[in-house]
């Protein structure tokens, strides 16, 4: 888009006292608006490239805390999930090239320590996080760019979401049409 104001963003990124929270919020806002060049400039900031980003730490790891964005985005929203939900093919592609993927949540009945902790701390937040993640996984952009067989992936994910809707009311397709990767083709 011609209204990205890339030069202004690049200038602001030179300020030494920028907080990680402001960079994260700006990154998600740029992704939501589909501003590819601004997203790329923000991802190239030293917070994500040098200082603190190691080969074992993904960009998404910077978004696993609840310390930012003042409610504009759900706390578990990562750049790849948001880009997928917004069907921003070029941004999803860039993030996948940088090694970002959406991790499928554990099964509903999983009893691992991590899942147990998430349920006991805030079960509603955990359920909404699962919906948010599956919305990203069900995105046509994400399926097309991350799967070897997008059609098979769409059918498998649709079946999994149908099964989940029997257990978790949040996954009922009639309440959340974007959750079905095949919903775009059924009408």
pLDDT tens sequence across 162-184: 888 888 776 665 544 545 666 55
Please report the pLDDT score of residue 182 as a whole number.
60
Q: Compute the distance between CA of residue 125 and CA of residue 107 in angstroms, rounded to an integer.
A: 16
Tokens coding 63: 């978004």
Percent of the chain with pLDDT over 70: 78
Give residue 131's pLDDT: 86
Quote the pLDDT of residue 45: 87
> pLDDT > 90: what percent of the chain?
38
184 Cβ neighbours under 8 A, 6+ residues apart: 140
Residue 119 banded pLDDT, cuts 50, 70, 90: confident
Q: What is the pLDDT of residue 173?
A: 53
Is residue 185's pLDDT more than 90?
no
Radius of gyration for the chain, computed over Cα atoms and rounded to the nearest angstrom: 17
Buried b (16+ CB within 10 A) or exposed e, 113-152: eebeebbeeeeeebbebbbbbbbbbbbbbbbbbbeeeeee
Banded model confidence at residue 74, pLDDT cuts 50, 70, 90: confident
In the prediction, which pLDDT does 186 show?
A: 46
Alpha-carbon gap, residue 28 to 25, rounded angstroms: 5
Q: What angle do CA 167, 75, 84 make, to 5 degrees?
A: 75
Give per-residue pLDDT as tens, 13-69.
Answer: 888 888 888 888 899 999 999 999 999 999 998 877 764 444 455 677 666 655 555
**Contact between residue 60 and residue 78 where contact means Cβ atoms under 8 Å apart:** yes
pTM recorded for the entire structure: 0.81
């Amino acid at each position: 888009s011609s209204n990205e104001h890339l030069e202004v963003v690049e200038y602001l990124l030179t300020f030494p006292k920028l907080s990680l929270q402001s960079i994260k919020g700006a990154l998600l806002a740029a992704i939501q608006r589909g501003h590819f060049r601004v997203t790329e400039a923000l991802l190239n900031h030293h917070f994500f490239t040098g200082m603190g980003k190691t080969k074992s730490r993904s960009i998404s790891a910077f978004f696993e805390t609840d310390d930012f964005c003042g409610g504009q985005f759900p706390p578990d929203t990562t750049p790849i999930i948001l880009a997928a939900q917004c069907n921003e093919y070029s941004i999803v592609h860039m993030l996948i090239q940088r090694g970002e993927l959406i991790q499928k949540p554990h099964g509903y009945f999983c009893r691992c320590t991590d899942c147990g902790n998430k349920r006991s701390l805030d079960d509603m937040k955990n359920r909404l996080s699962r919906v948010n993640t599956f919305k990203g996984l069900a995105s046509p952009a994400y399926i097309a760019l991350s799967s070897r067989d997008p059609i098979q992936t769409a059918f498998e994910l649709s079946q999994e979401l149908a099964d989940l809707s029997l257990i978790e009311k949040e996954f009922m397709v009639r309440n959340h049409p974007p959750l079905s990767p095949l919903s775009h083709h059924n009408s």
